């Protein structure tokens, strides 16, 4: 899934051994919540320190909150969770049911000098999962590009989140671009409407439909994965496919599929800023309770060369070997 998180300024990293919320942070978080719920984004900007205001000018601050966080709804609570250095992390619940982790850092004058919004990370459940044991092919037959993939945060921002760890974001590119024309329409994107196929024999265990495709550049944090299909393999490994095109999913819960069967079409639904496929290996069906695992593919073409049992990384161009 596309990254919905925004590192607005570097946070302090000094060690702190107490895990109690400080009074100054309690006051600032209450003011932040009040301003956000009143759509007073300029007032949030005024809570920033001087360096933060330079890093995130007023127009960008208003755009960030209005277009990317406000769609989650009104904040009902900001519950102190833990410290990251001196910064405070708040489990932030919205009236739509969306839960994000807000990281807030303050300077010596109690001005905000760091803010980070990310999907909330619940405790993982189920058996430990390192990698797939099921033999998996790519879920498409044309050449696609790995936008996010790999085992380091630099290659793959998903690595920072246990429930999406090692997930892929995949799309199609031509001459270094993912779209033609001005990219303002989903139809401009090369991957939009392309077939997504079952990468192995499996059982359909979850299907989410009825989510509209976003306008490129906008997000839908209320429905994180958008139109979704989850497969369960014979080895009890779960594969989650997110952001299908509206009304394109061709399978139902309980259905048995074979490798190569059509699941649906690539779209731009859910928490997605442009058409792409989010694919992840999980140890349980529910993404919010899952632990992600490394997903290796059998006998695929990577940047023009054949690879076996390969884990694709950022910028790889990948394709199934034609048989």
Report whether pLDDT(234) > 80: yes
Instruction: Extract the runs of DSSP E, i.e. beta strands, from the chain.
Output: 75-84, 87-94, 99-106, 112-119, 144-148, 168-171, 195-197, 202-208, 227-232, 238-244, 256-257, 262-265, 277-282, 292-293, 300-302, 305-307, 317-320
Distance CA 168, CA 304 (A): 20
Same domain, 195 and 262: yes
Report whether pLDDT(143) > 70: yes
Same domain, 305 and 159: yes
pLDDT tens digits, 261-314: 999 999 999 999 999 999 999 999 999 889 999 999 999 999 999 999 999 999
pTM of the full structure: 0.73
Which structure tokens are listed for 199? 């990468």
Provide the pLDDT for residue 121.
Answer: 74
Provide the pLDDT for residue 2.
Answer: 45
Same domain, 193 and 272: yes
Distance CA 102, CA 92 (A): 7
CA proximity to 191, closest of 321, 2, 4, 64: 2
Count structural domains, the chain. Answer: 2
**Domain hosting residue 214, numbered range:** 144-320
Query: What is the arithmetic mean of pLDDT over 58-64?
Result: 92
Which structure tokens are listed for 251? 């399978």
- Cα pseudo-dihedral 109, 115, 120, 122, rounded to 10: -50
- For 294, other C-beta atoms within 10 Å of its C-beta total 14
Q: Which of 84, 119, 154 represents a domain boundary (last residue)?
A: 119
pLDDT band at 5 (very low <50, low <70, confident <90, very high): very low
Provide the pLDDT for residue 190.
Answer: 98
Same domain, 75 and 162: no
Report whether pLDDT(7) > 50: no
Q: Is residue 18 part of a domain?
A: no
Report whether pLDDT(8) > 70: no
We report the CATH number of the domain holding residue 59 as 3.10.450.50
How many secondary structure helices (H) and strands (E) does the chain include? 4, 17
Same domain, 172 and 27: no
We report the CATH number of the domain holding residue 225 as 2.70.70.10
pLDDT tens digits, 147-195: 999 999 899 988 888 889 999 999 999 999 999 999 999 999 999 999 9
Distances from the Cα of 80 to the Cαs of 89, 94, 102, 256, in angstroms? Answer: 6, 15, 9, 44
Provide the pLDDT for residue 290.
Answer: 92
DSSP state of 72: G
Provide the pLDDT for residue 323.
Answer: 59
Query: What is the arithmetic mean of pLDDT over 85-95?
Result: 90
pLDDT tens digits, 93-142: 999 888 889 999 999 999 999 898 887 877 777 888 999 999 999 999 99
- For 112, other C-beta atoms within 10 Å of its C-beta total 23
Query: What is the arithmetic mean of pLDDT over 317-321?
Result: 96
């Amino acid at each position: 899934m596309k990254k919905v998180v925004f590192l607005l300024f570097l946070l302090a990293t000094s060690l702190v051994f107490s895990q109690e919320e400080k009074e100054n942070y309690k006051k600032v978080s209450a003011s932040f919540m009040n301003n956000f719920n009143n759509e007073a984004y300029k007032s949030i900007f005024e809570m920033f320190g001087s360096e933060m205001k330079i890093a995130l000018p007023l127009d960008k601050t208003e755009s960030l909150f209005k277009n990317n966080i406000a769609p989650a709804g009104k904040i009902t609570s900001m519950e102190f969770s833990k410290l990251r250095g001196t910064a405070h992390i708040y489990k932030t619940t919205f009236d739509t049911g969306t839960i994000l982790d807000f990281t807030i850092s303050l300077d010596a004058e109690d001005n905000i000098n760091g803010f980070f919004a990310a999907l909330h990370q619940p405790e993982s459940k189920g058996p430990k999962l390192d990698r797939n044991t099921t033999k998996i092919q790519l879920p498409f037959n044309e050449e696609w590009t790995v936008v996010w993939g790999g085992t380091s945060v630099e290659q793959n921002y998903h690595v920072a989140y246990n429930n999406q760890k090692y997930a892929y974001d995949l799309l199609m590119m031509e001459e270094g671009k993912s779209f033609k024309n001005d990219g303002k329409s989903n139809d401009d994107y090369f991957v939009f409407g392309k077939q997504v196929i079952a990468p192995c024999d499996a059982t359909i265990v979850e299907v989410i439909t009825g989510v509209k495709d976003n306008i490129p550049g906008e997000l839908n944090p209320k429905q994180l994965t958008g139109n979704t299909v989850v497969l369960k393999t014979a080895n009890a490994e779960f594969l989650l496919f997110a952001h299908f095109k509206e009304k394109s999913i061709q399978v139902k819960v309980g259905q048995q599929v074979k490798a190569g069967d059509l699941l649906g079409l690539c779209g731009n639904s859910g928490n997605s800023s442009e058409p792409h496929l989010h694919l992840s290996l999980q140890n349980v069906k529910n993404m919010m309770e899952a632990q992600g695992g490394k997903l290796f593919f059998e006998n695929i073409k990577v940047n023009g060369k054949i690879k076996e049992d390969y884990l694709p990384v950022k910028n790889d161009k990948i394709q199934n070997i034609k048989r």
